[in-house]
Amino acid sequence: MREISYRQALNEALNEELVRDQTVFIAGEDVAIYGGAYGVTADLWKKYGDERVKDTPISESAIVGVGLGAALTGMRPVVEIMYIDFIPLALEQINNQAAKIRYMFGGKCTVPLTIRTEGGAGRTLGAHHSQSLESWLIHIPGLKVVMPATPYDAKGLLKSSIRDNNPVVFIEHKMLYNSKGPVPEEEYLIPIGQADIKRQGRDVTVITYSRMVLFSLQAAATLEKEGVSVEVVDLRTLLPMDIDTIVASVRKTHRVLIVEEDCKTGGTGAEIGMLIMEHAFDELDAPVKRLAGADVPMPKSPVLEKLAIPDPERICQAIREVLQ
Amino acid sequence: MAVDKQLALKLLKQMMEIRQFEDKIMELLARNIAEGGSHLYAGMEAVAVGAISVLRPDDYITSTHRGHGHAIAKDGDLKALMAEILGKKTGVCKGKGGSLHLADVSKGNLGANGVVGGSIGMATGAALSVKMRKTNQVVVCFFGDGATNQGIFYESLNIAALWKLPVVYVCENNFYGMSVSVKRASAVEDLSRKALAFDMPAETVNGMDVLAVREAVGRRVEEARNQFQPSLVVANTYRYYGHSRSDPRVYRTREEEKFWKERDPIPNFASRMIEQGVLIEQEVTELEEQVRQSIEEATRYAIDSPWPEPEELYTDLYA
């Protein structure tokens, strides 16, 4: 199978959905002429013009609001918030409006709106361009939250997100855009809400998502040499969370490490840990452990930034602790 | 502006429906039959009725936290609206929205909103959708004076002017954002000037005069429909009740309230129509009685309606 980058996989997904459905359009900051801050929408403006690939003013709240209004009235917008750090500017529209409107209206409308954004640390961009704010978003009933780790998942899940009749926040990772992986030429979809076991193992389960999937797989390969068999569960979708796959893996290994890039306190891992307590406590042979981002604003210094998020070495160490 | 009998009766009837609906809600709140709160539109009827009277059935509106008037004027069903405000199963949103979220997308009402300015972006997006789908529809976006101090107001008007979207922003200036007067909240008292930043046409109209609102919004709606020209219409008006039922109205004088009540949009319009020979007094009296009966029917329907079943808690979340 051919190998393409995460960036190209996303670009193909957007292009294919623009071809397939005339109600799909793209809007966001620098998405047209520039092709997106990270190049995801490259060349789409040349093909589809201003009508369907729209540069917007720097107005995050209105970008989501306009997308919502269009989604309510027959269009299928894909809007981009350049950095997840700018999501707070649009959070009123996401939390109070887009996510709740269907329920508030008694189910008498649909909101086929995709909000693409990008997060995570790794480029030493400091505290306003490196955050992982997904736990804020999974606290919003009515939303779906998708965070793919591989080019294959990115493409299949973005296409599903665009076709979904609910508001989806699709969170990419800035350090994954250049990563490559197999992606078939022919069309495929990946259902929202399904985790994927990226590596089968017997001794311990690592539950993770986005870039931390890659780090966890590296840690698993290292530990294999020590005779430890690590299972890596890639959640892929955080809301709704695939509790069945999590529980099945816990039943198999009886030990769990959660690896997340977001700040530990009130983070996604807290939710995963409690779900395990509720659904699989009796299966556990050891307390669930979390390896998470530090509870600090992301520092600029490359040295400090590396310390602020998990890395393969510390994942190995945490797994060894879970196994003790 | 010539008005025939049919139109005069329609405008008068809608304004009476809104007034009596709101008076009834106040009564239900006082008797604790309606729980929670409601922001009432009484006094402001000419704005919703005048503006919406120029729209096609398939045109869109977005509404506000003070949204009962818009919902009624946009062909809302009195029974379903009243039931919604009580949180009943038969409500227009199945009892899940309530006063702050009255909506009926099938009738082009994209909803009231619990957040000041919360629907201005949505209205702008609906106008973009209209333009892309080439359906020749128009969007009328209602909001209050307070919303013109929100960021999304400026973000949205900029986009509408930049992209030439068919939307008319109707600012219902009732001079108070809850308790704070426009003078104390806005550096510019003439709110229409806020459109200057976007080179957007704007005007101020007497919001107590249904025909004046109808004329101004009608003209702006045609510009939006035919030339994709967005605009801002500021309708000066007054809310008779406080912001909510717990509001003692200490921030305004009884003299000021009297000044505005003397300009009440309903009796003033009725007597004008009688003077001009469009209506006779008996027709007005009969209409008032007819409206009274329909409000009573809606109230009885809402009170007698069942509550939502417990299973409804988790339905309608996802499509």
Within 8 A of A66 by CB-CB distance, chain B residues are 121-122, 124-125, 128, 156, 159
The percentage of residues in chain A with a pLDDT greater than 90, rounded to a whole number, is 100
Domains with residue ranges and CATH for chain B:
5-302 (3.40.50.970)
Within 8 A of A62 by CB-CB distance, chain B residues are 121, 124, 152, 155-156, 158-159
Contact A145, A122 (CB under 8 A): no
Q: CA-CA distance, A137 to A147, in Å (whole number)? A: 12
Dihedral sign computed on CA atoms, order A163, A149, A79, A8: negative
> Is A235 part of a structural domain of the chain?
yes
pLDDT beyond 90 at A62: yes
Residues A120 and A238 both lie in one domain: no
> Is A73 part of a structural domain of the chain?
yes
The ipTM of this complex is 0.96
The domain that contains A269 carries what CATH number?
Answer: 3.40.50.920
Whether residues B91 and A25 touch (CB distance < 8 A) is answered with no
Residues in chain B: 319
Residues A42 and A175 both lie in one domain: yes
Residues A34 and A149 both lie in one domain: yes
Averages of pLDDT over each 10 residues, chain B, 319 residues = 92 98 96 92 98 98 98 98 98 98 97 98 98 98 98 98 98 97 97 98 98 98 98 98 87 96 98 97 98 98 98 97
Mutation pick from B62, B85, B159, B314 vs chain A, by most beta carbons of A within 10 Å, is B159
A50: closest chain B residue by CA: B163
pLDDT score at A303: 98
Query: Of B96, B155, B316, which has the smallest distance from its Cβ to A61's Cβ?
Result: B155
Strand order of the β-sheet with A230-234 is: A196-199, A230-234, A204-208, A256-263, A289-293
Residues A167 and A203 both lie in one domain: no
pLDDT beyond 70 at A104: yes
Query: Of B91, B124, B318, which has the smallest distance from its Cβ to A65's Cβ?
Result: B124
> Is A142 part of a structural domain of the chain?
yes
The percentage of residues in chain A with a pLDDT greater than 70, rounded to a whole number, is 100
Q: Which of A155, A182, A209 is the last residue of a domain?
A: A182
Mutation pick from A51, A104, A192 vs chain B, by most beta carbons of B within 10 Å, is A104
Rounded to 5 degrees, what are φ and ψ at A25? -145, 160
Q: CA-CA distance, A232 to A239, in Å (whole number)? A: 19
CA distances from B87 to A110, A111, A226 (A): 22, 23, 62
> Is A110 part of a structural domain of the chain?
yes
Residues A36 and A62 both lie in one domain: yes
Whether residues B110 and A72 touch (CB distance < 8 A) is answered with yes
Residue A168 belongs to what domain range?
Answer: 3-182
Residues A177 and A257 both lie in one domain: no
Number of A/B CB contacts below 8 angstroms equals: 146
pLDDT score at A218: 98
Whether residues A92 and B156 touch (CB distance < 8 A) is answered with no
Residues A175 and A240 both lie in one domain: no
pLDDT score at B37: 86
> At CB < 8 Å, which residues of chain A contact B?
23, 25, 51, 54, 56-57, 59, 61-62, 64-75, 77, 92-93, 96-97, 101-111, 141-142, 144, 165-166
Number of domains in chain A: 2
Whether residues A105 and B93 touch (CB distance < 8 A) is answered with yes
Within 8 A of B130 by CB-CB distance, chain A residues are 73
CA triple B129-A42-A47, angle to 5 deg: 60
> Is A190 part of a structural domain of the chain?
no
Q: What would the pLDDT profile of A246-288 be if each residue is shown by its tens digit?
A: 999 999 999 999 999 999 999 999 999 999 999 999 999 999 9
Q: Which of A156, A182, A208 is the last residue of a domain?
A: A182
Residues A175 and A278 both lie in one domain: no
Query: Of B91, B128, B152, which has the smallest distance from its Cβ to A61's Cβ?
Result: B152
pLDDT beyond 90 at A79: yes
> Is A187 part of a structural domain of the chain?
no
> Is A165 part of a structural domain of the chain?
yes
Residues A143 and A256 both lie in one domain: no
pLDDT score at B1: 62
- Distance, CA of A182 to chain centre: 19
pLDDT score at B2: 79
Rounded to 5 degrees, what are φ and ψ at B115? -115, 130
pLDDT score at B244: 81
Q: What would the pLDDT profile of A151-164 be if each residue is shown by its tens digit?
A: 999 999 999 999 99
Contact A40, A11 (CB under 8 A): yes
> Is A189 part of a structural domain of the chain?
no
Within 8 A of B127 by CB-CB distance, chain A residues are 69
- Distance, CA of A30 to chain centre: 21
The average confidence (pLDDT) of chain A is: 98
Q: Which of A182, A206, A226 is the last residue of a domain?
A: A182
Residues A132 and A242 both lie in one domain: no
Residues A102 and A157 both lie in one domain: yes
Number of H helices, E strands in chain A: 12, 14
A64: closest chain B residue by CA: B121
Residues A91 and A127 both lie in one domain: yes
Positions of A annotated as catalytic residues are 60, 129
